Amino acid sequence: MTALARSINLPESLCAEAERQFGSRFQNIEELLTFVLQEVTRNDSTRLDESEEKMLEHRLKELGYL
Amino acid sequence: MNAPSLILVTVDCLRADHVGFLGYARPTTPFLDSLACESAVFSNAIVAGAPTYFSFPAIMASRYPLALGRDVVGIAPGEPTIATQLNAAGYATAAFIAGNPYLTSRFGYDQGFDDFRDFLAAVPDEEQSASPTNGVPSNLNRRIRSLASRTSLTGAAYEELYFRYCQRRVARENISMDSLRRYPAAHIVIDQALSWLAKIGERPFFLWIHLMDPHHPYYPPEEALAALGTPMSSQRARFLNSFWARENISVRRLRHYRDEVISLYDAGIYWVDRQVARLVNALKEKSRWDQSLFALTADHGEEFLEHGQRYHSPVNLHEPLIRVPLLLHAPELKDARLTDAPFSLLHLAPTLLDAIGAKPSARFQGRTYWSRVSANDLSDEPAIVECVDGCNNPLYRKDRVRHRLLAVRGRTLKLVVNFRDNTDCLFDLERDPGETSPLSPNSFPKERVRLLQIASSHVQTAYKKRDAELRIRAMVRGLQQAVREKISHTRP
């Protein structure tokens, strides 16, 4: 991996169970965890929340209430 | 004396204005009408989301559907629900879900149930009705279709001819209404619920029954059609369902069959009523009725071209979709009470739990209204409804991560905010119950601002106070399923 990386410690038994369950899809624990973290930190949903909040704020400002 | 039991019957697609106790002229619900005479009835019960996958998080877990993020579907693992609360309190719990794929263990709805039956094994894979869109065209047909679709005129001509061809072919088949139905009819679901009730002894119980009879395709039992004075052959029902399902067809042509389609839909409601009567009578025979709270409601309504749409797609939040019946029968409510104050189904779970003396979860977003229901004194608090605009298949992330549609529904005024085109429309439901003419921007300025402020506060809360733990659990469940499916697909 060429990007900056961080080392973390995880219980061996947990890693072994993850490898048992998902080993056929992911090469190793790093690949599995990278996939999971990428998925749970996707922020396209939150970006829509933020833009919708801004739209309502803008509308209330238009009406002179903010 | 045992703790009171709770029976929750939810009916898919049941709109409020098609039940007798809310004024429908056709006698679709004679039993529920009689029950309403000794129940609390809410004429403005409003779902928190539509359709099913946006409505049930509120009904079962008292949580707005997009509160964990619009990319999350269903109940999160470990999320408190009516069932988990009562199961922890020692109740026997069971759910009998008439084959709705969104109300399954995949989406967390089995949590808290000792016995959870989704009837999915009984659901046929594909609709057997004939139409150009769901038939299996031959290679020759595909080639003709491809050639015909080069212009809109020849494309339309092909679709019309192919539809008629399919209809002629299936008209020769004599398939019963029971064989055409895609979901187990209410009597099958109630039979299983009664068998379960017979096994649990004297324990207090929570029974959730979800019935699909009014859901399309509309194939009610012939007995129900006859009872409503609208007998119909299965061939005719098959033709109507196929025609009603056609794409790229004008509203004018659909309107020609609307009344007959509604007769089929209404017969489904009638069948639900008959079977609920059977359930209640069985509870009375077992001497369980007088110790039970009974609630009947729906996850959303159904459209019949009021605004040009059919079924219940989340592309609008019109009244036929968001206003549902709600009837609560409790031993202590001796007389009928009818309220027209808006009541969000977000508050249903805590209200039901409170009514039977159980503690609502602190994680619920709604709150109990039981004391107000008992006193027949509901306040005028607007109900919020939300969905993801155009999300017809929540299994696809790209369908879920789209703009929100939001409605703030007061007693007479309703604000609809469409975030796709950044518009807000205010309707006066008293003067314009069909929501055909949004009020001018200068009408009801104070009320418009008040409803906009409620919308703004709701959207802010939704993501700034999000329950991160439940969100991650739900996302990880989705990932587990996706990875397992990939693994199973890659296995030889």
Counting residues of chain B whose pLDDT is more than 90, the rounded percentage is: 80
Mean pLDDT, range B278-287, rounded to an integer: 97
Residue type, A53: E
Q: Does B401 touch chain A (CB under 8 A)?
A: yes
Q: Which two tokens stand for residue A38?
A: 């990428």
Give the whole-angstrom CA distance, residue B207 versus residue B95: 6
Q: Is the pLDDT of residue B44 over 50?
A: yes
Residue B113 and residue B87 in contact, taking contact as beta carbons nearer than 8 Å:
yes
- Mark yes or no for CB contact B459/A53 under 8 Å: yes
- Measure A4 CA to nearest chain B CA, in Å: 25
Residue B408 and residue B414 in contact, taking contact as beta carbons nearer than 8 Å:
yes
Give residue B166's pLDDT: 87
- Measure A1 CA to nearest chain B CA, in Å: 23
Q: From residue B156, how far is each of A40, B135, B146, B162, B358 by CA, in Å?
A: 45, 17, 12, 10, 59
- Locate tokens 């029968």: which residue? B329
Q: Please classify residue B22 by burial: count the beta carbons closer than 10 Å to its beta carbon, then call 0-12 exposed, 13-18 middle and 19+ buried.
A: buried
Give residue B489's pLDDT: 67
A4-50 pLDDT, tens digit each: 999 999 999 999 999 998 888 899 999 999 999 998 898 899 999 99
- Mark yes or no for CB contact A45/B401 under 8 Å: yes
When CB atoms are compared, the residue of B71, B479, B487 closest to A24 is B487
Q: What is the DSSP letter of B473?
A: H
Give residue B124's pLDDT: 67
Q: Sorting pLDDT into bands at 50, 70 and 90, what band is B129?
A: very low
Q: What is the ipTM of this complex?
A: 0.85
Q: Which two tokens stand for residue B478?
A: 């989705």
Give the whole-angstrom CA distance, residue B196 versus residue B176: 29
Q: Does B399 touch chain A (CB under 8 A)?
A: no
B67-114 pLDDT, tens digit each: 999 999 999 999 999 999 999 999 999 999 999 999 999 999 999 999
Q: Does A60 touch chain B (CB under 8 A)?
A: yes
Q: Sorting pLDDT into bands at 50, 70 and 90, what band is B130?
A: very low
Mean pLDDT, range B367-382, rounded to an integer: 92
Give residue B127's pLDDT: 46
Closest CA to B345 of B5, B8, B6, B4: B8
Alpha helices in B82-233 (DSSP H): 82-88, 139-148, 152-171, 177-180, 186-199, 222-227
Tell me which residues of chain A, numbers 19 to 38, contact chain B at a CB-CB cutoff of 8 Å: 22, 24-25, 35-36
Residue B4 and residue B294 in contact, taking contact as beta carbons nearer than 8 Å:
no
Q: Is the pLDDT of residue B128 over 80?
A: no
Give residue B492's pLDDT: 52
B193-252 pLDDT, tens digit each: 999 999 999 999 999 999 999 999 999 999 999 999 999 999 999 999 999 999 989 999
Give residue B409's pLDDT: 98
Q: Sorting pLDDT into bands at 50, 70 and 90, what band is B287?
A: very high
B385-406 pLDDT, tens digit each: 999 999 999 999 999 999 999 9
Dump the DSSP string for B419-454.
TTTTEEEEEETTT-TT--SPPPTTSSHHHHHHHHHH
Q: Are strands B310-311 and B115-117 parallel, antiparallel or unpaired?
A: unpaired
Q: Which two tokens stand for residue B427?
A: 């309707």
B163-180 pLDDT, tens digit each: 888 888 888 888 999 999
Residue B399 and residue B393 in contact, taking contact as beta carbons nearer than 8 Å:
yes
Q: Does B419 touch chain A (CB under 8 A)?
A: yes
Instruction: Please state the pTM of the whole predicted model.
Output: 0.94
Give residue B336's pLDDT: 84
Closest CA to B213 of B177, B245, B184, B244: B184
Average pLDDT, rounded, for chain B: 93
B259-268 pLDDT, tens digit each: 999 999 999 9
- Mark yes or no for CB contact B69/A46 under 8 Å: yes
Give residue B136's pLDDT: 58
Residue B357 and residue B3 in contact, taking contact as beta carbons nearer than 8 Å:
yes
Q: Is the pLDDT of residue B135 over 60?
A: no
- Mark yes or no for CB contact A46/B483 under 8 Å: no
B439-461 pLDDT, tens digit each: 999 999 999 999 999 999 999 99
> What's the 3-state SS for B47-83?
CCCCCHHHHHHHHHHCCCCCCCCCCCCCCCCCCCCHH
Tell me which residues of chain A, numbers 37 to 56, contact chain B at a CB-CB cutoff of 8 Å: 39-40, 42, 44-46, 48-53, 55-56
- Mark yes or no for CB contact B462/A59 under 8 Å: no
Q: Is the pLDDT of residue B133 over 70?
A: no
Q: Does B71 touch chain A (CB under 8 A)?
A: yes
Give residue B20's pLDDT: 98
- Measure B94 CA to nearest chain A CA, in Å: 31
